[in-house]
Amino acid sequence: MSKPAILVARAVAPEAIDRLRPHFELETNPDDAIWSREELIAKLQGKVGAFTSGGERIDAALLAQCPELKICANMSVGYNNFDIDAMTAAGVQATNAPDVLTETTADMAFTLLMATARRVSEAEAYLRAGLWKKMSFDMLLGSDIHGATLGILGMGRIGQAIARRGAHGFGMNVIYHNRSQLDAATEATVKARYVSKQDLFKQADHVVLVVPYSPASHHTVAAAEIALMKPTATIVNIGRGGLIDEDALAAALAANKILGAGLDVFEGEPKINPGLLALKNVVLTPHIGSASGPTRKAMATLAADNLIGYLINGKAVTPLNSPKPR
């Protein structure tokens, strides 16, 4: 009896491939090529499962051309590449990789927060350009993190991990806004206080975005929100690029309306808004929030386990929907 066929759409940890191989016939992408939509559809023919990275758009039009597909397993926690309603209607299981990247991504949020507040990228460029000739009182003055007010927009697993770091590690006053308020016990654990979205932008010395992206959250932060911020404040985005109106942010940064920004995600990634590239007071990283070796291996392993769980054992490990099997 032949094994079920699955497609691994990007190059992933060898451990994940080794985990899948006993159960499936694999088509892999060792060169890590970026396939066009037409190429992806062609490669999905005859496949019952797909191991996706978060960049492959799975929607009704694609599913209509891939009638044998039963599951798509994202290696990322985000899944805005999935049309969940269309997948459910088509009888296709969707899964993601939560939990395993929480702490590493929270570390990255603080990396960007600290680099932005203390102007690390700007300082390094200043030094490398040979401009450092002497010490001076006002050279590259930044903003303190310890004791400051940290505003977190989005208070899921990662938001709570960021809150713990801020409150317990840096003695920060942590405020947050979320679709729903956390229970009192969780608020006490992470030492965070619920406020309105408007008050968060007014009060925070440092804002961190950890909101899942959807059409409803598109440009959650635009000119109006940025205008509420203190001139000494910073903003960090580790959620998704579309959460911020990048033109409005670039304009505010260019006019020094806020101190700086730290961005790991971008609306048109891997293309970057030229207005941001031209600025000194923004720290830019190429979507590396979960990019530690152990974490990426854990993400790939969980995606593999979702494929094995659903196609071999009949139950996904971390399902996003409850489709009727095709």
What is the per-residue DSSP string for 136-199? -TTTT-----TTPEEEEE--SHHHHHHHHIIIIIH--EEEEE-SSPPPHHHHHHHTEEE--HHH
CATH 3.30.70.141 holds for 5-100+293-311: no
Residue 287 appears among annotated catalytic residues: yes
- The 10s digit of each residue's pLDDT in 150-181 is 999 999 999 999 999 999 999 999 999 999 99
pLDDT digits (tens, 9 = 90+) for 193-213: 999 999 999 999 999 999 988
| pTM score, whole prediction | 0.91
Single out the catalytic residue among 10, 118, 206, 240.
240
In the residue annotation, 269 being an active-site residue is answered as: yes
Which of the following is catalytic: 25, 27, 103, 269? 269
What residue ranges of the chain are covered by domains with CATH 3.40.50.720? 5-100+293-311, 102-284
Q: How confident is the model at residue 55 (pLDDT cuts 50, 70, 90)?
A: confident
Which listed residue (118, 177, 287, 296) is catalytic?
Answer: 287
User: Does domain 102-284 bear CATH number 3.40.50.720?
Assistant: yes
- Asked whether 277 and 252 are in contact (CB, 8 A), the reply is no
